[in-house]
Amino acid sequence: MANATGLPNPFTPLAFFPPALADQFEESRYLFAATLGAYVWDIGLNLGNDYALLFKQRVRFPTIVYFLSRAFTLAYVSGSFVFAVAPVQNCNTLILGSSICAALSQATTAMLFFLRATAVWHSNKIAYAVFSILWISVLGAAITVPLGLRAAHVGPTSQCIVTVVPADTQAAVIVPLINDTVIFFAINYRILAHTIAGNSFLARLRVFFGGTGLSVLSQALLQGGQHFYL
C-alpha cells in the first residue's frame, strides 16, 4: 500500500490501489449507482399498482412476500451503494447488514417464483417437492454471503472495500440461477403443453415468443416469467 505522506491527496481511496484494481473499484461504484437509480425508477413506475395491491386488494401471503422482496432488495441495493461511495465508520457492520438483506432478497424473490410454479403445477406432488428443495437450496446458498464476506477501510480513509470473499459464496449466484432456470422452463412447459394454439414444436415455439393464442392468464404467466427470468 502506498505511503500516505507522499501523496498529494492521501484520503482519496483510489490512491491506495494499483491501476487495475482502482479501475475495478471505480466501475463498481458506477454499477451500484446505476442499479440503485434503476431500482428506484422501477419502484416509482409501479407505485400505482403497488398501492392498489396493498390497499384495494385483500392482503394475502403472496402480497406480503412481494413487498418483503421489494423492501429487502431496496435495502440491499442502497446498502451496497453506501458501502461503495460513502464514508463508513464500521465496514464489517455495513457489509454484514447489506449481505443479510441480499440473502433475504434472494429468498423472498425466489419464493415469488416458487408460488407461481406451485400454482401452475398444483396437482403434481413431485414438482412441489422439487420446487421446495430448490427454494431451500437458494436460502442455504444465500446464507453463505453474510457468513463469509469481510470488509475493511481503504488505507487511512473512511471508505470501504471487501477484503474476504470465500469461494463458497459463489453458490449464492449459481444456485438461484439453477432455481430460476428450472422453474422458468417448468412453468413454460406446463403452459405450452396445454395450449391449443398449435400441436407442433414450431407452433408452440411461436406461442412462446409471441404469446398469441393463449388465454389472458396463461399469456400473463408466460410473459411475466420471461421478464422476471431475463
Give the SS3 label for residue 202: helix
Q: How confident is the model at residue 222, as a pLDDT?
A: 76
- Tens digits of residue pLDDT in 52-96: 988 988 889 999 999 999 999 999 999 999 999 999 999 999 999
Query: Counting Cβ atoms within 10 Å, is residue 230 exposed (0-12), middle (13-18) or buried (19+)?
Result: exposed
Tell me the pTM: 0.83
Contacts of 18 (CB under 8 A, 6+ apart): none
pLDDT by residue for the chain (230 residues), tens only, comes to 445 556 666 667 887 888 888 888 889 899 999 999 999 999 999 999 999 988 988 889 999 999 999 999 999 999 999 999 999 999 999 999 999 999 999 999 999 999 989 988 888 899 999 999 999 999 999 999 999 999 999 888 888 988 898 888 899 999 999 999 999 888 888 877 766 555 666 666 666 666 565 667 777 777 777 777 77
- Tens digits of residue pLDDT in 109-124: 999 999 989 988 888 8
CA-to-CA dists, residue 165 to 29, 60, 140, 170, 182, angstroms? 18, 38, 17, 9, 27
Percent of the chain that is helix, strand, coil (3-state, to 5): 75, 5, 20
For residue 41, how many other CB atoms are within 10 A of its CB? 10
In the chain, DSSP assigns E strands to 150-153, 160-164
